[in-house]
Chain A
Amino acid sequence: MLTAVITIASIALIAGIGLSVASRRLPSSTDDLVEQVNDLLPQTQCAQCGYPGCRPFAAAVVAGQAAINLCPPGGEDTVRRLAELLGREVLPLVESVTPSVAVIDEALCIGCTHCRNACPVDAIVGAHQLMHTVIETECTGCELCVAPCPVDCISMRPLT
Chain B
Amino acid sequence: MSAPTYDLGTLHGGLRLPGHKSESTRQPILDVPVPGQLVLPITQHVGDPAQPIVRIGERILKGQLIAEPDGTLGAPVHASSSGTVIAIEPWPVTRRNGGTAPCIVIECDGKDEAVHNTEPPVDFRTMAPPDLLRKFLQGGIVGLGGAVFPTAQKLMQARTCEIDHLLLNGVECESYISCDDMLMRERAGEVISGAQILMHALQIDVCFLVVESDKPEAIRRLGDVLGEVNDDRIILKQVPTIYPSGGEDQLVQLVTNREVPSGGLPSDVGCLVQNVGTAAAIHDWIINNQPLISRVTTVTGDGVVSPVNVRARIGTPIADIIELAGGYTERAQQLIIGGPMTGKSVTTDNVPLVKATNCILVSSETPSPGPELPCIRCGDCASVCPVQLLPQQLFWYACADDEKKMREFGLMDCIECGCCDLVCPSHIPLTADFRVAKGRIRELADEKARAARARLRFEARNDRLEREKTDREAELAEQKASAKKAGPSAIAEILKRQQEKKEGDD
Residues of A that sit less than 8 Å from B by CB: 38, 41-45, 53-54, 120-123, 138, 140
Contacts and interface: CB of A to CB of B under 8 A. Distances in A.
B6 interface: no
Contacts of B458: 43, 45, 53-54, 120-121
B460 A122 contact: yes
A50 to B, nearest CB: 17
Contacts of A123: 457
Contacts of A53: 458
Interface residues of B, number: 11
Contacts of B460: 122
9 contacts: A42-B451, A43-B450, A43-B454, A45-B458, A53-B458, A54-B455, A120-B458, A120-B461, A138-B457
B454 A138 contact: yes
A29 to B, nearest CB: 22
Contacts, number: 32
B461 A44 contact: no
A27 B447 CA distance: 27
Nearest to B447: A42
A120 B457 CA distance: 8
Contacts of B461: 120-122
A121 B450 CA distance: 12
A45 B454 contact: yes
B457 A121 contact: yes
**Which of B447, B450, B452, B457 has most chain A Cβ within 10 Å?**
B457
Contacts of B452: 43
Interface in B136-159: none
Interface of B: 447, 450-455, 457-458, 460-461
A44 B452 CA distance: 10
A41 B450 CA distance: 11
Given A43-B452, A138-B454, A138-B457, 4 more contacts: A42-B447, A43-B451, A44-B454, A122-B460
Contacts of B453: 138
Contacts of A42: 447, 451, 454
Nearest to B457: A121
A43 B454 CA distance: 6
A150 B283 CA distance: 63
A41 B452 CA distance: 10
Interface centre among A54, A121, A123, A138 (most CB of B within 10 A): A121
A138 B453 CA distance: 8
Contacts of B454: 42-45, 121, 138, 140
Nearest to A44: B454
A26 to B, nearest CB: 22
Nearest to B455: A43
Q: Which of B447, B453, B458 lies at the interface centre, i.e. has the most chain A CB atoms within 10 A of its CB?
A: B458
B451 A41 contact: yes
Report, nearest first, the 7 A-B pairs whose CB atoms are least far apart.
A43-B451, A121-B457, A43-B454, A43-B455, A45-B458, A140-B454, A121-B454
Contacts of A41: 451
B445 to A, nearest CB: 14
A41 B453 CA distance: 13
Contacts of A140: 450, 454
B291 to A, nearest CB: 33
B457 A122 contact: yes
Contacts of A44: 454
Contacts of A121: 454, 457-458, 461
A142 to B, nearest CB: 9
A38 B452 CA distance: 10
A23 B133 CA distance: 58
A7 to B, nearest CB: 46
A123 B460 CA distance: 12
A23 B504 CA distance: 68
A118 B461 CA distance: 11
A44 B458 CA distance: 9
Contacts of A120: 458, 461
B462 to A, nearest CB: 8
Nearest to A120: B458
Nearest to B444: A77
Most buried by A among B450, B451, B460: B451
